[in-house]
A and B are shown apart, each in its own frame.
Chain A
Amino acid sequence: MGDITVCPYCGTGCQMILEIGESSQRVVGYSRSPVNSGKLCIKGYSGLTYNFSSERLKYPLMKENGEFRQISWEQALEISVSKLGDISRKYGPDSIAFQSSAKCTNEENYLMQKLARMVGTNNIDHCARSCHSPTAIGLINTIGAGAATGSIASLEDTETFFVIGTNTTEQHPIIGAKIIKEVKKGKNLVVADPRRIQLAGLASVFLQFRPGSDVALLNSIMNVIVENGWEDADFINSRTEGFSSLKKTVSKYSPKVMEGITGIEPEKVYRAAEMIGNAKPTAILYAMGITQHIHGTENVMNVSNLALLTGNVGKRGSGIFPLRGQNNVQGSSDMGALSEFYPGYVRYDSGKLNNFSRIWGKEAPTQKGLSLSEMFEAAAEGKVKAIYIMGENPLITEASTQTVERGIDNLEFLLVQDIFMTMTAGHADIVLPAASSLEKEGTFTNTERRIQLIKRIYSPPGEARPDWWIIKEIGRRLVGMDDYSSPEDIFSEIGRAIYNYSGATYSNIYPIGKQWPINTDNPDGTEILHSKSFPIGRGKFIPVEYGPPAEQTDDEYDFIMTTGRNYFHFHSGTMSRRTDILERESPEPYAEINTNDSRRLNIKERQIITVESRHGSIKIRAKVTSKIPEGIVFIPFHFSEARVNELVGENYDPISKIPEFKVVAVKVIP
């Protein structure tokens, strides 16, 4: 027997039919899905066997004299609650930090932030900080909602795709495939990326620009559009404000002047601008290439500027598409598992927290909370004494993993719940075994705001329990949280906390999901946002000036390193590295280096080299390729054997606090 559920990997949220029987197990895409129309990528087909790994955590564990030993759930919960309670009483609620997870359901993220806030702190954050926090903040500033403005299906109406900072066919393969299908029909494709990604080979114009020069590139595109009068004057007049200041700013960024910064010939910028401005509707898709910079929020706002300038918001085929990495990073952000946002993006200092205080029966805290990286810094300084981590592995995924490690080792109490003994869980005092997303019920919200129901297909191993149950048990004992009976029970409370979710029920979102806002004004959900107006009234142009990335090359550190994912693995590899086919395809860490650079440095394919930044050094095999330009190395961050995040410095976007994973000055030693 089987059911329709959602793939546990990326934010596309492909719907799949999963079946398990005594002698049959099937994975196939759900053909009626508006998200993936029955298609899946290799991670969907062959990436699910981690569920059955013998390494799954099966029992609660407690560390004693450096060794873990099995304890009962009752013991684990009692010890955790008494530790957290003691620390909160002794040092105050802000001495505890909570880390939620974009891999968990909306219900679980909602509960995690509710737990933090009922404890009395806004120290609640999660990995969205490291991927799309600039999107949430940037797009809320400019257009009033930090989410994709259109739907995946609406890309069928797109005439020009502008793909910047997303390796779509590898990271969101089914959306990448959608673009390919449209381009095969003759649609325009403009690709901007420092690496020669697969889509670059199909592009009408490929802008292989220097890492960190996004603002300069986007401003030069807008410069050409304004110079040639290709802007959408009607849209600008009727729907936006601040155009004159944008015009003034971009006037300084002629492609000719910018070539020195971006490395792109003016002619190419001109052609790209012409397509984006004239061959409409244009959809702009972006991911970590835009956000993971100290200018991440400015980059996002500049993407928004371009969309507003060309009137490419609010119509089918147009729009801004921040592609979400984790399956539920849209949802976990919607749920308010972010230090500055309560559910539904209500700011902690907005004075509008009454609804939450009322629903939760407890005063919502109004002091500023710590962001993800700040939590570890505060722990290293001794200000944070306990961290409760659900389903995240910051010892691999965070920038400056040395600081993370110092922070974690300085804690009085570390509580981790996960499906595997991750590197981070190995440092915990108590480890709680969780059910995977194929072993529980709940909802995920995908990259196009589609709230989708997930179903329990398999039974969790041993005594592993769903995350919602674990948080609820801790919350009930620690702060008197409600004794929820099911995820559906929690979901109905979410509907009361977030107006944009208020019309969704488990029965009306199954099987194909519905896109928020879904409420009394939009009972069937909303495919295209901002079609008549923006939540903030008029869309705002917020002009952005170019500033260099935090790190520059010099004579010693003469390469720029950029980090990211590859097609076969996912984040810290907790899941993908435990599936045979995926691990076989990509079994070890590697550094991509340009053919000419390798020749100059006398580096052979698969030779072990040292890559050293101003912050750390790793040994890693070289992968020689012409896909990456000279002077740049690319290293995926999945591998604990060579943690590339040891090389990434503590350089943060001052607005969103996202670390600059994409530009690190390094030297390469053969």
Chain B
Amino acid sequence: MNYILTDEDMKILFSRIKEEYDTYGTVEKEGDIVYEKVDGFESITFGRSRYAPKEFLIERNENVLNLPVQQKKAVFGVMSCDLKGFYVMDKQILGKDPFYTQRRQNTLFVNFPCNVECEGGFCSSFGGPLLDEFQIQVARDGDDFIVSASKEYEHLFDGFRKTGDEQIRKLRKNFLKNAKQLPVEGIENRIKWDSKLWKKYSSVCISCGACNYSCPTCYCFDLFDQDDGRIREWDSCILSGFTSTSAGNVRKELDERLRQRFYHKFVYYRKSQGEYLCTGCNRCTEDCPVDIDIKEVVTHDYSSE
């Protein structure tokens, strides 16, 4: 159901949510937007967060021998591209990874769809920021907040003004009209195993791992024993020790590992889960120190190679 809320209504909604959840939100810190604990709707900054809120569900490192009881958390100000990452990831790990699953079930993400496509971003290629799957989605149309709630959160909206789908449809149309959509569809068939892109990338890649760490859909981790614990830690498939076997990494060269990353995103996941493992957020490109642009993998003319 959709509702039209005023600024005052949003404060009320926030306080209703706060009764059930620990509340977090996007706030500005010296020009970068980060997630912090917040106490009121007025503390939340609208804008592009510096990073995807992946740590709310997958910690950078934690002991997997102990599954702690999860606090209920609500996170305000999530970008749609980042949120979509969780829905894509769900297909692979929800119900399988108990840490992820418990946190997913106890976390309420309130996403704020953008009205204009950001520079470099290409979420329009994946349907744009007004998502079909969400918990509570807060779109803005002028001074109004057009808030959509999935069924289990409707009880929070008692007394607010209901509305139809019209404004959402209008916002979606406006967004897509001004956005540049990339020809993502079918990339799994166009992409080429021996493309020269991979060596071009490996000649400049400095193996920093930023593309994985920034990605709202990357979920791979490393496991190692430490003292009494077994720790899992965010990993990067660009590194040679990733998924190492007794014979080392089966992808010995950096260009092979870079290719694997793009093939996982655009070929394997599509074939196994029916979706691309990418939401068009552009964070990998933004955080890449040497400007490797994931959009080039999509738009490159493989047929001429």
Q: CB within 8 Å of B: which residues of A?
A: 1-4, 17, 19, 21-32, 38-42, 44-46, 49, 54, 169-170, 173-174, 176-178, 180-181, 184, 198, 201-202, 511, 567, 580-581, 584-585
A4:B233 contact, CB within 8 angstroms: no
A181 to B231, CA, bound (A): 36
B185-235 contacts to A, CB under 8 A, are 203-204, 206-210, 213-214, 222, 224, 226-227, 231, 233-235
Closest B residue to A578 using CB positions? B226
A17 to B42, CA, bound (A): 23
Q: CB within 8 Å of A: which residues of B?
A: 29-32, 34-37, 50-51, 55-56, 59-61, 68, 70-71, 203-204, 206-210, 213-214, 222, 224, 226-227, 231, 233-236, 239-241, 244, 286-291
A201 to B30, CA, bound (A): 38
B60:A26 contact, CB within 8 angstroms: yes
A202 to B204, CA, bound (A): 8
B206:A584 contact, CB within 8 angstroms: no
Which residues of A sit under 8 angstroms from B35, Cβ to Cβ? 19, 24
B210:A19 contact, CB within 8 angstroms: no
B206:A169 contact, CB within 8 angstroms: yes
A198 to B239, CA, bound (A): 16
Closest B residue to A39 using CB positions? B289
Instruction: Identify which of B37, B231, B234 contacts A46 (C-beta below 8 A).
Output: B234
Which residues of B sit under 8 angstroms from A198, Cβ to Cβ? 203, 206
Given the interface contacts A32-B32, A46-B234, A580-B224, does A23 sit within 8 Å of B289 by beta carbon? no
B59:A25 contact, CB within 8 angstroms: yes
Which residues of B sit under 8 angstroms from A39, Cβ to Cβ? 208, 210, 287-289
A178 to B56, CA, bound (A): 32
| Residue with the greatest number of chain A CB neighbours at <10 A, chosen from B207, B231, B240 | B207
A23 to B75, CA, bound (A): 13
Closest A residue to B228 using CB positions? A54
A581 to B221, CA, bound (A): 10
Instruction: Identify which of A2, A54, A581 contacts B233 (C-beta below 8 A).
Output: A581
Q: Which 8 A-B pairs have the closest CB atoms?
A: A177-B289, A39-B289, A584-B241, A32-B31, A24-B55, A41-B208, A511-B30, A580-B224
A184:B291 contact, CB within 8 angstroms: yes
Which residues of B sit under 8 angstroms from A178, Cβ to Cβ? 289
B32:A30 contact, CB within 8 angstroms: yes
Which residues of B sit under 8 angstroms from A180, Cβ to Cβ? 204, 206, 289-290
Tell me the minimal C-beta distance from B225 to chain A in angstroms: 10
Tell me the minimal C-beta distance from A655 to chain B in angstroms: 35
Instruction: Identify which of A44, A174, A181, A581 contacts B291 (C-beta below 8 A).
Output: A181
A184:B226 contact, CB within 8 angstroms: no
| Residue with the greatest number of chain B CB neighbours at <10 A, chosen from A27, A29, A32, A173 | A29
Given the interface contacts A54-B226, A581-B233, does A177 sit within 8 Å of B210 by beta carbon? no
Closest A residue to B214 using CB positions? A28
Which residues of B sit under 8 angstroms from A584, Cβ to Cβ? 222, 224, 239, 241, 244
Tell me the minimal C-beta distance from B76 to chain A in angstroms: 15
Which residues of B sit under 8 angstroms from A41, Cβ to Cβ? 206, 208, 289
Which residues of A sit under 8 angstroms from B203, Cβ to Cβ? 198, 201-202
Closest B residue to A174 using CB positions? B289
Closest B residue to A579 using CB positions? B233
Closest A residue to B240 using CB positions? A585
A259 to B29, CA, bound (A): 56
B207:A42 contact, CB within 8 angstroms: yes
B287:A42 contact, CB within 8 angstroms: no
A17:B29 contact, CB within 8 angstroms: yes
Given the interface contacts A17-B29, A31-B31, does A45 sit within 8 Å of B290 by beta carbon? no
A511 to B29, CA, bound (A): 10
What 6 additional pairs, Cβ within 8 angstroms, besides A40-B210, A169-B206?
A4-B30, A23-B59, A28-B50, A173-B289, A184-B290, A198-B203
A23:B60 contact, CB within 8 angstroms: no
Which residues of B sit under 8 angstroms from A585, Cβ to Cβ? 239-241
Which residues of A sit under 8 angstroms from B32, Cβ to Cβ? 17, 30-32
